[in-house]
Structure 1
């Protein structure tokens, strides 16, 4: 039985390819610059100095609500707030006097301005506020703080809130939940 050999000698195949294709590729590459067009590249930016540094321990914050009975929302639609803080260091008040903090994330469809949760729990959302109770709406609210020379703490609170619709229909569902928001700092 005879075996069909497509490439009996690999060296011959390589030599054939080089002798056939290389001259044609050189010719093709010689023609390409004739068709080329010059493109202008514009680069610009703005180098700034930030008045404060975010403490690395608060660059990723974790707010824990622990266990809350789902039936408590039928009596009190809002949980007790959990405190958290954003720590700023090395603040230079010659560069800025105030800082505004805002939060971005997925907004709850039933409770505009509140952060939507994911997981097994349903009918609740997370609200954010200042220590004085000023609401910080997700994706549009902001709170202004006065900077202190050196270190400044931005004291904030998070709370859970059940939607009016879920309270009326008794459809608050228990289970684990989580949410992610990004804080943004703007210096003035």
Structure 2
């Protein structure tokens, strides 16, 4: 009998605690489950572009380098979910080169920016521009080019500082 009374007492006590913890609604869950038409290859999620060594005199003469490929692979595209992809880049814009990416503050060099363009040479401006491409069923490739360009004043005054540089941007794929 004692055992039964103790058990009832514990269950009443736990029931009281249970109702208190249920009264507080402080965790909310939210999300969206989407179906993208294509799958971005894992190897394209983080891309490193290496411009190698650039001779500053080349920039004084040509203002910019030749384009270095930037390729994104979209696999298993299902056109019933979308037949167009819009690619945009965001990052810190160079204040002296509209639409070009600024190099990071930790870089040793100055007087340059990083540009992105189509294969036809049309600029894809950082933060404001985009590149649209139609999709085909199956695997698709987006082929762009990146380049280093000297700032106009740095070129005219020959004040490009040589050294290592880095920059970073984020790309976004939107399907239509």
The structure 2 residue matched to 1:82, chosen from 41, 56, 68, is 68
Could you say which structure has the larger radius of gyration?
A: 1
**1:108 aligned partner:** 94
1:133 Cα offset (Å): 1.4
Q: Distance in 1 between the 2:87 and 2:150 partners?
A: 25
Structure 1 alignment gaps of length 5 or more: 1-32
TM-superposition CA deviations, 1:136-159 (whole Å, max 9, x none) = 100111000111211110001000
Q: Distance in 1 between the 2:90 and 2:102 partners?
A: 11
Q: Distance in 1 between the 2:42 and 2:69 partners?
A: 18
Q: Distance in 2 between the 1:43 and 1:55 partners?
A: 29
TM-superposition CA deviations, 1:39-86 (whole Å, max 9, x none) = 798765432211111000111111111111001111110111101201
**2:154 aligned partner:** 166
2:135 matches 1:147: yes
Q: Distance in 2 between the 1:89 and 1:79 partners?
A: 31
Indicate how the Cα distance of structure 1 residues 63 and 40 shifts in structure 2: closer, same or farther if over 3 A, else same. Answer: closer
Q: Distance in 2 between the 1:147 and 1:132 partners?
A: 18
2:97 matches 1:97: no
1:109 Cα offset (Å): 1.3
Task: Write the mapping of 1:1-188 to structure 2, written as runs, cut at 5 A.
Answer: 45-118=31-104, 119-188=107-176
1:131 Cα offset (Å): 1.3
Over the residues paired in the alignment, what is the CA RMSD in angstroms? 1.9
